Every structure is written in structure tokens, then in C-alpha cells.
Structure 1
Amino acid sequence: MSEKQKRPGAGTRVRNYFLTGLIIVAPLAITAYLTWTFIGWVDSWVKPYIPAMYNPDHYLPFAVPGFGLLTALVLITLIGFLTANLVGRTIVGFGESLLDRMPLVRSLYKGLKQIFQQSNSFKQAGLIEYPRKGLWSIVFIATDTKGEVDHKLPGHDSISVFLPTTPNPTSGFLLFVPRADVIILDMSVEEAAKMVISAGLVSPEFPRPAPAPGKGKAKPAIA
């Protein structure tokens, strides 16, 4: 078979090029047509309800395609936002009304809610020796002591801490403690609040470092 017979003719090559182009262009053209038709259909439904002062078709020499669709998307999103917030507030309000009828749970929930809402006001959680030497209490560190209080205290290096009570951490004591007497904890304020509210039953995980060989000492288990 000669080289001339193996090579397709010009008509065949043109046909192949056309079919290849059709395969590429046809899906794009159909997609564009359907999209344009959908935009026009939505515009025909929405634009008549848009006030003239907000409709650009009334003061432009040409129609703005897609403005009705954009308006519909904004309205649908706004309705969804309002509905979600209304439903969310209704559910939360119903749940809080149920908790208000449970004396013990009510105090725990309100205390936890308030401390979470105010947790950003505290920087860190820490430990101080209170109410006597050898006993330790969790405190929330607020800020460095300032003003007259700091000036009158000896050393001028103290911090303001809040000592919460259990199980309601919204009540407690404001203490001005020397910085050296406070042990800073790695746990967050929220985790410390959970520990206070649960009376120590809920404690965050802490990766305890392995003791050095020959220096480890087992702690007695609490039954």
C-alpha cells in the first residue's frame, strides 16, 4: 500500500476536525444556552417586583441580565439567615426554660454560661496556696495589678486574680497575689472553669512527663 493511500484525504481531515470541535464546543454551547435561559426565566419572575428606583432597567438604555437572579439569591440567603437565627433562638430559649426548672442544674448551667461568656476577660488559669499553706486553689488571672493598689503593695510585682467558688464560678474573691506565688497552668480558662464547676470530677488531659530512671515514685490511687 502506497504512502498516498495511507494518508486520509482533505475532506476526511476536515470532517474529523469538525467533529472534534463539535465535541468540545457543543457541551459549552448547551451549558451557556441553558444558563442564559435560566437567568432570563428568573429575571422575568423577579424583576417585575423590584421597585423602579432599585431596578437598573428603568434608568439604563439596556436590560441588565442576571439582576433578578442576584436579587433572588440575596433574598433567599437573607430569609435563611433570619429563619436559622429565629429557630436557633427558639430552641435555646426552650432549653434554658427547661433548665431553669431544675434547681441544681440551673445553677451549674448559668455559672458555666457566664464564665464562658466572660472567659476572654481572663488571660490564664493558675494555682495559689489558699486557704492555707499546703492547700491549693484554681484562680483566673485577670491582669497585672495597677494604680494605687499596686503602689501600696510591697514589691510592686503582683497580679490580680479571681478565685472562683464551686460549683458556681461566677461568685468568688478578687485577690492581689505576688507574681512569684502563682503557678501558671497550661490548661485554658474554659478547662479550668469546667474543673471548678465539676468539683474536680472533670479534668483536662495532660501529657505527664516520664520520670527519670530511678526517680519515679508511684502515687497512691484514689478509690
Structure 2
Amino acid sequence: MRIASVEDDKSQSELIQQILVSAGHECECFVNGNSFLRALREQAFDLLVVDWQLPDTSGYEIVTWVRQNSGRNPPILFLTSRAMEEDIVAGLGAGADDYMVKPIRRAELVARVSALLRRTYPQAQQDSAVIRVGNYRVDPDARTVAVGENKAEMSPREFDLALFLFRNLGRLVSREVVEQAVWGRAIGAGSRTLDTHISRLRIKLALRPENGVRLTSVYSHGYRFEATADGDKQEPPAQDTLGKPDQQD
């Protein structure tokens, strides 16, 4: 799982990262709230570990912003030296899912993180299976998509979108469902964010019938991503012209 840690103390940040990586997770560290919030607009994390006292903003404000803009997920663990009962109540009331008081205890941190992940993603073990469709191999654990022998270079958000499409093969999915699943919120009818990401995936993954898949825009609804017979050439090229993604989006 991908975890973000927001902690300005270098030694504490390194300790958190070392504990979580040794437990089998990825952990990206941020030294202040603003750098984390900028990253959150482009990246997806499965869980957040947030300190309360930060140099530019407070952990309370970060939790409040995340809940207002991303909904119920990702789960958030406050990891702070503030141990007063009113602090714990305020942190949980702001939207944190758990609260742990420093000093950091390795086993407790791993246990709390594991419990939050199990509760939030009960299907994670089943969903970790590698997906093979046509010329594609999608590995949720490694967060990679291979087209034939070549691994595609994608941003974390692009991978999340690709994984959602492959997991929903053959289904007609609305824009709102895609946005909620990948961004954690409805982006809005006037935004081109989803369209832009779809266009990038068409190019980076060569989403064409000859590779075993077809991605179709459904007017006023969303998208249908489906498998095709290997070598299917029946689709007119204009329907999946990689150089002109806006025709589909």
C-alpha cells in the first residue's frame, strides 16, 4: 500500500518511513503540509500518517482539507505528541480515523496501520491478483502495466485510472463513478481532468483492438472498456486514433 507521511522532524520522518517500508508498504515523506497537499492533487495514497504540529499549517487543517476534498478515503492516522483528551477528540472529530501518541512504538504503528487498511480495503487481498487481458499485464502490487514486454511509464493517478478500467472490463461506467473511484470525489462537469487522463492512457498504453482491448466514449454517460479478440482490426482507426484523443474524450 502507498502511504504518505507528513512529519517535519527529519529523524521521526525517517523512522516512520523505515517502519512502514519494513512492513511491506511504500512510504513517501513530506516535511510540511503545503508540499503534501500539492502532491495529493496529482498522486493517490492508500493511507495518510499526519503530525499535528507542522511549520506551515496544522495537521488538523490538513485532515479537514482532505476530508472536504477527498471524501471518506484515504484513511488518516494522527501521529503526534499532543496527548490531551481534547486534542484526541478534536483530531477524530476533524475526520481522522485513528490517533496515536508519540513516542513512536514500532509494533503499535504497524498494527494501527494494518487495522486501518484492513477496515478500509477489505478486498485488498483479492484485488492484488495480476490481471491479464490481450497484450496487457496489470500488477496491482507492483503498480505496473506492461504492454507486451514493455512497462508503461505512468503517474500514480494514471495507474489508478488504468487499474480501475481493467478491473471493470466490459462494464459501462459513468464519469461520476470513475471520478469517485480514482480521485475520491466528483470533479465537476466543466473539468477536463478525466478526459485528459483518458487521453494519456490511450497513448501510453496503446489502447487499441489489435492489443486486445477497446475503450469507447459513451455520450453523456461515461466509458466502456472491453476486451476484443486478438488481432481484431474491425474497429475504424478514427475511433482510437492515438494522436487525436480528444475525438473520443
Point out the structure with the larger helix share. Answer: 1
Tell me the TM-score normalised to structure 1 length.
0.24
Point out the structure with the larger strand share. Answer: 2
Tell me the TM-score normalised to structure 2 length.
0.22
Q: Which has the larger radius of gyration?
A: 1
